[in-house]
A and B are shown apart, each in its own frame.
Chain A
Amino acid sequence: MKSKPKIGVFKFASCDGCQLSLLDCEDELVALAGAVDIAFFPEMSSNMRKGPYDIGLVEGSVTTHHDASRIHEIRKQCRTLVAIGACSTAGGIQALRNWHDSKQWVAQVYAHPEYIQTLGMSTPISDHVPIDFELRGCPVSKHQLLELVSATLAGRRPNIPTYSVCMECKRKGNVCVAVAQNLACLGPATQAGCGAICPSFGRGCYGCFGPAETPNTVILADQLLREGRAQETVVRDFRSFNAWAWPNRQASERKGAV
């Protein structure tokens, strides 16, 4: 039998929610532990083994000089490198700093700002090194995480669709909250993967899974404005977990936006 693939899980600037999704796999965790060799996962075990790794899962965005160099070392150590979650694929909620002067914020928040060394921008992993795959979401879906691992083990293409949330929403038999209740829903421009959770509970999609494959975010923003929403509200809709993803920036920075 061939040896089990060796996996490393690495954390950058993040809340750990995506790593928790991995630990959350409960029922499948035993099978997972049997199928792969989890060699480096500080969140799970203090037994940390050196690389190289067959698969590296990276959570978080790059926000410090140290991380900006660390990611290159990790890339060298991993045959397949997967960015998991909105922080690592788009810069995360902390990318809101990219529109402001973060030095000012640091001065306001910390008693000794001189101890804080941080970059002015929060950027996705793919801005720094080439990656092999992205798992979207804030947090990632445990189902997609398992699908990715299972597919990699079986040597097949993972079934991770890049179309809109609306496709999942309709398959579930939901009544569209945008059309029937005039709620702001980012579903039409957001990538599927969550199973349309928010519309299933009567809320508009918040866009956790980031822009869909060919998103028309600017048109969606126009539509939200036409329906009588305030400019700031629409800008805020597009500036959340995936604010720094290019299509969302286009929508929130478009002419006339604040």
Chain B
Amino acid sequence: MNACLPDIRSAVRIDCQGLGSLIAAIRRRGYQVIGPHLQDGAISYGPIQEIEDLPIGWTAEQGPAFYRLQRRSDSAMFQYAAGPKSLKDFIHPSEIRLFSAVREEGAFRILPNSDPAPRYAFLGVRACELAAAGIQDRVLLEGRYSDPIYRARRGNSIIIAVQCSAPSEVCFCTSMGTGPRAEAGFDLALTELIGPGSHEFVVEVGTQLGAELLSEIEFSDASPDLRNQAQAATQAAAASIQRRLDTNGLREVLRDNFDHPHWDDVAQRCLACGNCTQVCPTCFCVNVEDSTDVAGQTAERWRRWDSCYSLAFTYIHGGSVRVSTKSRYRQWLTHKLSYWHDQFASSGCVGCGRCIAWCPAGIDLTQEVAAIRAATNQTEGTK
């Protein structure tokens, strides 16, 4: 044990055993550790008890409508890019009962949900995911109304980030200014360094809580050389990202192209299945449903993730507003990349690429935007 408390913003070195001790230290404090693990052919987020639960020696190849696990030749634990789940799955749960009510002597009594919010410690969180959580904070916490479910879970959480050094083909955080390096928003941030005969981590300290956790485990000073290696790893990651989304004037480009023929082209390919919205770490829409039992004695109110791709989403008296697939895809993309700025003062996209990989039709927003842009430039050129 190191009796000393490392400084905030300093960096130290731990090895694999140290990581194991870190997981144990977090668990001792009563947190449930959520980190990367293998689930049905993907590196997804799930409960982690010990270091062996991590995807040791695995990575994944990603592309439009494509995700495949791959074996690595080493025992890396974090050399993969963002997977199917994100923090959203835990702090903005996909379904939750808001309350129930029972009938009693001609009246009814409301039973609040008394379950305490889970205390999550997220391990392996990427820069784009921190940016996404920041966006969800603005929407769900910092607006006029703050969501108590999100607030409790988010406020309770510990974040152990991982600096990306193996981006995938669908990543474009460099275009969105969200990664691959996480600068803030974490308690601790690890950079995994694997060399011949060595497997170690540079740990950046983000908060007092992070420093306290470190003080409970073995660590040593990170040599300047090791710190340079860590810097170089994320720089190389940034340089390896090929995918681009040109954000220059994007807000106006989409706003001004409501009737662009390319929307029809996308509608010819889109299944209106809603997957893109469900995997997007910033999409937050929910539906609230009341139900009653057969005997009419109890009622419940549930909140579930919804999607702008469903007809019911815009159902008002007389029918749905956005009936065509075209109008629904257009709504999603323009909200995400244009109106989001008006509403929440940032883009709604962090460049994680989930909507590209997990769209069963392989629709790629970076290409759709490029197509709208190209055609727009052309028309402007001929004017």
Contact = CB atoms under 8 A, between A and B. Distances in A.
A binds B: yes
Interface stretch (A85-93, A97-105, A142-150): A142-150
B250 interface: no
A150 B293 contact: yes
A164 B273 contact: yes
B65 interface: yes
A147 B65 CA distance: 35
A212 B325 CA distance: 13
Contact of B291 (A150, A162, A188): A150
20 contacts: A28-B294, A161-B312, A162-B310, A166-B274, A166-B278, A167-B273, A167-B310, A173-B85, A173-B89, A175-B39, A175-B40, A178-B360, A180-B68, A187-B360, A189-B271, A216-B270, A216-B325, A219-B269, A220-B271, A220-B360
A188 B360 contact: yes
A187 B94 contact: no
| From B65, B275, B311, residue with most partner A Cβ within 10 Å | B275
Contacts of B14: none
A185 interface: yes
A253 interface: no
A31 B293 contact: yes
Given A170-B305, A174-B40, A180-B42, A163 B312 contact: yes
A35 B40 contact: no
Contact of B274 (A35, A159, A167, A181): A167
Interface of B: 39-42, 44, 65-69, 84-85, 89, 94-95, 268-275, 278-279, 289-296, 304-305, 307, 309-312, 323, 325, 357-358, 360-362
Nearest to B278: A170
Nearest to B323: A214
B272 A216 contact: yes
Contacts of B305: 167, 170-171
B270 A159 contact: no
Contacts of A171: 94-95, 278, 304-305
Given A179-B65, A188-B273, A163 B289 contact: no
Interface string A68-80: 0000000000000
- Interface of chain A, helix or strand or loop or mixed? helix
Given A34-B295, A163-B311, A179 B271 contact: no
B189 to A, nearest CB: 26
A35 B294 contact: yes
A131 interface: no
A150 B294 contact: yes
Contacts of A154: 292, 296
Contacts of A225: none
B278 A167 contact: yes
Contacts of A188: 271, 273, 275, 360-361
A32 B294 contact: yes
Nearest to B292: A154
A213 B94 CA distance: 21
A169 B164 CA distance: 28
